[in-house]
């Protein structure tokens, strides 16, 4: 299966982001992971030229709450919203309920709102997989979500 790793983005391929306003909604559950996702997303937006006054951040307790907060964020006149979270499989089916709810919820926001809402939620079987994808050997999903957000905002 081929894959594209946006963690290694080229700023020159993206375009002028200096006028963009971007929201970040980040879950505090598994905060050792989501803090890295947040830092990756925030620093990438700055690298791409988004002004720090034009980055609005909300923190929510868990990934399930991302959808509500992203919907609220959409009223702040943002050009894109990044949702960041980390769901790690446990012993029960809770993982499936949260992953399905969040992915469907974010998809519905993309249909209902005129703002792109980016799915930056890790859905991993093990903690190590999350470590690898939040600044480890497989890049940082927060960086990738930020690159995706500005690309979608510029498309809009």
Decide if residue 62 touches ligand DLZ (CB under 6 A): yes
**Residues whose CB falls within 8 Å of the CB of residue 131, separated by 6 or more in sequence, listed in order:** 33
- C-alpha torsion angle, residues 5, 88, 45, 119 (rounded to 10): 80
- Pick one of 17, 27, 55, 78: the residue that binds ligand DLZ (CB under 6 A): 27
Decide if residue 146 touches ligand DLZ (CB under 6 A): no
Decide if residue 131 touches ligand DLZ (CB under 6 A): no
Decide if residue 142 touches ligand DLZ (CB under 6 A): no
- 8 vs 61, beta carbon nearer ligand DLZ: 61
94 is catalytic: yes
- Pick one of 48, 65, 71, 141: the residue that binds ligand DLZ (CB under 6 A): 65
Decide if residue 88 touches ligand DLZ (CB under 6 A): yes
Burial of residue 102, with CB atoms counted within 10 A of its CB: 0-12 exposed, 13-18 middle, 19 or more buried: buried
Instruction: State the minimum distance, in angstroms, from the CB of residue 37 to ligand DLZ.
Output: 11
Please pick, among 5, 94, 100, 125, the residue that the annotation labels catalytic: 94
Decide if residue 37 touches ligand DLZ (CB under 6 A): no
- Pick one of 36, 44, 63, 130: the residue that binds ligand DLZ (CB under 6 A): 63
Decide if residue 143 touches ligand DLZ (CB under 6 A): no
Residues forming contacts to ligand DLZ in the complex (CB under 6 A) are 27, 29-30, 61-65, 85-88, 90, 94, 98
**Residues marked as catalytic:** 94
């Amino acid at each position: 299966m081929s894959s594209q790793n946006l963690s290694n983005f080229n700023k020159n391929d993206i375009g002028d982001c200096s006028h963009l306003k971007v929201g970040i909604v980040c879950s505090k559950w598994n905060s050792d992971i989501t803090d890295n996702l947040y830092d990756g997303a925030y620093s990438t937006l700055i690298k791409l030229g988004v002004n720090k006054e034009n980055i609005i951040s909300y923190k929510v307790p868990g990934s399930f709450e991302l959808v509500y907060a992203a919907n609220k964020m959409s009223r702040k006149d943002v050009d894109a919203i990044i949702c960041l979270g980390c769901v790690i499989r446990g012993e029960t089916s809770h993982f499936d309920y949260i992953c399905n709810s969040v992915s469907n919820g974010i998809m519905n926001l993309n249909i209902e709102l005129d703002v792109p809402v980016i799915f930056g939620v890790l859905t991993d079987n093990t903690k190590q997989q999350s470590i690898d994808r939040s600044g480890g050997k497989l890049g940082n999903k927060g960086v990738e979500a930020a690159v995706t957000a500005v690309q979608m905002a510029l498309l809009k």
